[in-house]
Structure 1
Amino acid sequence: MAAEAVIAAIVIFAALRLLVARDVYAQMLYLNVVGFGISGLIGLTWRTDMGLVAALCTFVFSTLESNAIAYTLDKVRKIRRESGT
């Protein structure tokens, strides 16, 4: 029960930071934390076979999301470097 509370607190904190962050880099990183935190919460709270499947699916898609975030951050960095800002 304590693990779920800690993860939920981290997810809520990251979601709030996501809403107030102005930098694109920070927003994407907080979004990544929220995605992995939700998959962890699903895995810890649903103690059934379907919960395992749901947790695996959200973890796989969170991994794909983090790869997309890394790709986007690289593209933004290249665009900023080319434009001189």
Structure 2
Amino acid sequence: MISAQAVMAAIVILMSLRLLVARDLYAQMLYLNVVGFGLAGLVATTWRTDMGLIAALCVFIFSTLESNAVSYTIQKIEEIRRAGELD
């Protein structure tokens, strides 16, 4: 049976490769977001100590902040495009 860690690692690797190949800014930001949350999950399931829990919480919190930054950036780019300042 395939473990949860193997599935998460496969997703992180796949999204990392797609991040390198993607040309669209939106896709790159979304792939980066998936990689961040995937790493948080890997840290949480790999390190089975109190320090691992703290590290996983930190990675998850900062991944959430990254997610908010991604959505804010997408919104600002759309506003700039609507204003005609960006091609």
TM-score band w.r.t. shorter chain: over 0.9
What is the match of residue 20 of structure 1? 21
More helix per residue: 1
Cα deviation, residue 81, structure 1: 1.4
Scaled by the length of structure 2, the TM-score of the pair is 0.94
Residue correspondences, number: 85
SS of corresponding position for 1:58: helix
Give 1:61's aligned residue: 62
CA distance in 2, matches of 1:53, 1:41: 13
**TM-score (normalised: structure 1):** 0.96
**Cα-Cα RMSD:** 1.2
4+ residue runs over 2 A deviation: none
Q: Extract unaligned runs of 5+ from structure 2.
A: none
Q: Counterparts in 2 of 1:1-85, with a 5 A limit?
A: 2-83=3-84, 85=87
Moved more, 1-10 or 65-74: 1-10
- Identity, in percent, stands at 68
Give ranges in structure 1 of 5+ residues lacking alignment. none
- Displacement after TM superposition at 1:82 (Å): 1.3
Q: Distance in 2 between matches of 1:58 and 1:70?
A: 18
